[in-house]
Amino acid sequence: MEYDLLWTAGLTALLSLLGWACRNMYSEVQRIQVLLNKTREEIAKEYVTRAEAQSDMNRIIDRLEALDAKLDRIIERR
């Protein structure tokens, strides 16, 4: 009879510890997911998209070509 009580108490303690550890791991995973989502949102705010970068690069190239044309005209006049 005592062994049954000891066995039940031991299993109860073991399963309680296991449940507590699983609950803590689950809450940690949830916390990490929240942090990951916040990080993704912050990265999206700071970096440009490929289309925006391409548009800016095209504007720069257009300005450089205009400067190149002006320099060519200045050199031809001399």
Q: Where are the domains of the chain?
A: 1-47, 49-78
Query: What confidence tens digit (pLDDT) does each residue in 34-45 have?
Result: 999 998 888 877
Distance CA 56, CA 59 (A): 5
What confidence score (pLDDT) does residue 74 get? 93
Distance CA 78, CA 66 (A): 19
Q: Indicate whether this model's pTM tops 0.85.
A: no
What confidence score (pLDDT) does residue 69 get? 96
Distance CA 77, CA 71 (A): 10
Query: What confidence tens digit (pLDDT) does each residue in 21-70 have?
Result: 999 999 999 999 999 999 888 887 778 888 999 999 999 999 999 999 99
Distance CA 36, CA 28 (A): 12
